[in-house]
Amino acid sequence: MPIAPLSPDVVRQKISGIDVVEPSPICGGFKAVYRAIVRGKTEALKILTIKRGDDPDLEEAYVQEQLARVGREIDALAKSKCPEIVKLGSIAPQDFDVETEKYFAYSEEFISGKNLWDLLRDGSRMPPELPELLVLFIALLNCVEELWALGYVHRDIKPQNVMKTGDVTRPFVLLDLGIAYAVHEVGLTYRPGERMPLATYRYLAPEMMEPDFRDRLDFRTDLYTTGMTVYEYAAGKHPLARDTDDLMRTISRALRQPPTPLQNHRADLPRAFCELIDTFLKKKPALRPANLTLVRRKLEDLR
Amino acid sequence: MKLFSQHGALQGGKTIDGIAKGYVDGIIYSPRDIKASKLKDHVDEVAGVNPVADQFFDPQYYAGFNVSDSDARRGYLATAEFADYFRIRRRRDLESGLDKIREDIRNCLKFQEGFSLTGLVSPNILITRSLDSIEGVISKNFIRQAGELHAKLLLKKPLYITLALSREALMDKHELVAFLTDITLLDKVPTGFYLLVAARQEEARTDIYSADVIGAWMLINYTLALNGYHVINGYSDILTPFLGAAGAAAGATGWWSNLRTFSLSRFLPATGGRLPIQRYLSKTLLNRIAYFELDKLRRICPKVLNRLETDGLYDAEEGSLPDRAKEVWQSWEATRSLCGDLCKGDTKSDLDRCRRAISTAYRAYDEVGAAIDAIDPKSNSDHLPALEEGLKVFSRLAEIPNPSGETM
């Protein structure tokens, strides 16, 4: 359930340096994202509600976990040099209290444009042509590769987290490293009472549903979600999920059902491109092409 | 795809002539069967015959646990000839750390650097039971360390890493997939792998001709090839084109049964035996038949003939009995031709070709059965269900839809 956002007045009062805060933020289960003007520049201000959980004995651990998660996101963003990954803004990470609630805030650059999810739901949209799909695919591969080099797996690449900017130097930008996984750090615990990993179920890689997924997680999980995103953007349809599916059906499809080959939806695209995307959607990570140099070469051949 | 001569005892001029005639593309040397001092001359001789022939050296390090018995058939392997790199290790020597593993890899690669080989094959042990075992861990250490040492030593020739697995190790598909997940994510990537699948004995045909083994062997090739590795399959014999359909770069076979099926029994004390009867590899049957069976069938069921150059070695006037020293040329030419027929580089289409070849073989065996009363057990069609089912196992594991659209 989305959180209740703070009012712009409270935000300005608690965080210095902000000129204007847009009153209607985008709210998720943990955070609200405000469009804010900071020292004359538009930025995306993120305010996370630090939840305390239901068990008083675990309250402190739960708070620390949430702070660690956001710390990880900020760390990854700070280290990244990849132009296709969103950059940190000018508001330094900080926590504050409002009455009995604890909050954590920082900012990212504001990316104008539309996310792919909104574009997919635009009925007047023409199916994207191969050149655009290649640009999107390569942009996401750049992000995956950069994050892996820094020791992270994004885990949540999906159309909602990819912005189409209209800027030729940076046509697509990946947002939200909120559940990025640091492979060389201690795994964060689940939220109390929840046994499923954090991610959007429609875009959950099959291996994420294995009980020991932390032992085996690597960037091929992001290759799967990259494949999902490019497939859906190309086909206008999710490769597996249906809007009428419930959670169990969605998960069952992810684990067992082979996706419809992309070529079936887009006969106009080159077979080699469609088959490459299909390969990214294999259930077993070992069957996804991990040699990204080779993948890039294939994509270059398609240009 | 390429086909190599799997070098072994009593080679004579088989390989040199086979390369000269274009029946094979190269050779994989066996240190058990050639002195180090002769190796250089042989490498030069092959290069003289065909400068682009591929030449590899199988270090046979996996035999290290088996050749300490005084009556083991170790040949030149555990002698001063190969003392520069070959060590008889106990398993616990390799369990306790990376030092000995690194030392053995370093020595082995440096030894091979001294010859004009196409690439360097790093050593490894054989995983005899489970991939989720101490042996599995040791093997993965050999794989990881080989890439790192190859880079550190600034060796110019491409690296091929030995991966030697018993058929038992292939049975647990969950562990196989986990193993592949690990080894396809190496920090220092080699050019390829030298892949061996071991039977308990070289004569145990059903060890290898089992759907699970064939499917798993194909899966390893497919997964490694997908990640850009060249996979050279040792001792792959008639399975070579099936592995090629899954993405293999090369296979190999030789003139004795212990060069057609990989087994450590080759290094164990001899149990006696006699010379095998000469056989003819029929592309249509996907199998070898005895020369006297060929002699009957060539008239009443001529489709068993390949109609290749080496058919001439089986002269009907001589009862179709070939010169034993030249029998292997027929095997090589037929296997290579079959690879050309079935492996065009597109996995789905190649798998379809393999399925059709099996269907053709079934029909041909029906005709053979109608034509002659009894057929030798090694010549019969028992391999076909395993091949047919093996393709299905592979398609399921590799998530490739079969013609009916099912994958899992």
pLDDT in tens, A51-103: 776 777 777 777 887 788 888 888 889 999 999 999 999 999 998 998 888 89
Round the average pLDDT of chain A to a whole number and report it: 87
Local confidence band at B52 (pLDDT 50, 70, 90 cut-offs): very high
Task: Check B407 against A285: CB less than 8 A apart.
Answer: no
Task: Check B226 against A258: CB less than 8 A apart.
Answer: no
Looking at the structure, do residues B56 and B179 belong to the same domain, yes or no? yes
Report the distance separating Cα B186 and Cα B75, nearest Å: 35
Residue B402 belongs to some domain of the structure:
no
Give residues 193 to 222 of A whose Cβ lies within 8 Å of B: 216, 218, 220
Looking at the structure, do residues B250 and B288 belong to the same domain, yes or no? no
Domain count, chain B: 2
pLDDT given at position A192 = 43
Mean pLDDT lowest for which of A58-62, A255-259, B325-329, B347-351? Answer: A58-62
Select, from the ranges A74-83, A168-177, B10-19, B386-395, the one with the highest average predicted confidence (pLDDT). B386-395
Residues B248-273 pLDDT 10s: 999 999 998 889 999 998 888 777 67
| CB nearest B399 (choices: A283, A289, A291) | A283
Task: Check A289 against B180: CB less than 8 A apart.
Answer: no
Looking at the structure, do residues B67 and B174 belong to the same domain, yes or no? yes
Residue B408 has pLDDT above 60, yes or no: no
**Strand pairing category for B2-6 and B26-29:** parallel
Looking at the structure, do residues B259 and B310 belong to the same domain, yes or no? no
Local confidence band at B12 (pLDDT 50, 70, 90 cut-offs): confident
Residue B403 belongs to some domain of the structure:
no
Looking at the structure, do residues B303 and B338 belong to the same domain, yes or no? yes
Q: Alpha helix (H) ranges present in B60-162?
A: 91-95, 99-113, 134-152
Q: What is the predicted ipTM?
A: 0.88
Find out if CATH 3.30.200.20 is the number for domain A8-109. Answer: yes
Residue B207 belongs to domain with CATH number: 3.20.20
CA distance B302 to chain A (A): 41
Residue of B nearest to A218 (CA): B185
Closest by CA to B358, choosing from B238, B224, B205, B204, is: B238
pLDDT given at position B202 = 72
Mutation target for B interface from A262, A283, A284: give the one with most B CBs within 10 A: A284
CB B339 within 8 A of CB B28: no
pLDDT given at position A85 = 95
- Averaged over B146-151, what is the pLDDT? 96
Looking at the structure, do residues B250 and B303 belong to the same domain, yes or no? no
Sign of the CA dihedral with A152 first, then A155, A156, and A162 last: positive
Local confidence band at A178 (pLDDT 50, 70, 90 cut-offs): low
Reduced to 3 states (helix: H, G, I; strand: E, B; else coil), residue A103 is strand
pLDDT given at position A183 = 57
In this structure, what token pair is assigned to residue A135?
């640009």
Residue B408 belongs to some domain of the structure:
no
pTM value? Answer: 0.91
Residues B274-298 pLDDT 10s: 888 999 999 999 999 999 999 999 9
Looking at the structure, do residues B105 and B65 belong to the same domain, yes or no? yes
Residue A198 has pLDDT above 80, yes or no: no
- Averaged over B337-341, what is the pLDDT? 98
Mean pLDDT lowest for which of A143-147, B62-66, B145-149? Answer: B62-66
Task: Check B180 against A286: CB less than 8 A apart.
Answer: yes
pLDDT given at position A291 = 94
Round the average pLDDT of chain B to a whole number and report it: 93
What's the domain range around B298?
279-397
CB A55 within 8 A of CB A115: no
Last residue of a domain, one of B206, B236, B267: B267
CATH level 3 topology of A114-302: Transferase(Phosphotransferase); domain 1 (1.10.510)
What are the residues of chain B with a beta carbon less than 8 Å away from any beta carbon of chain A? 177-178, 180-181, 184-185, 189, 222-223, 226-228, 398-399, 401, 407-408
CA distance B247 to chain A (A): 13
How many beta-carbon pairs below 8 A join chains A and B? 40
CA distance A179 to chain B (A): 23
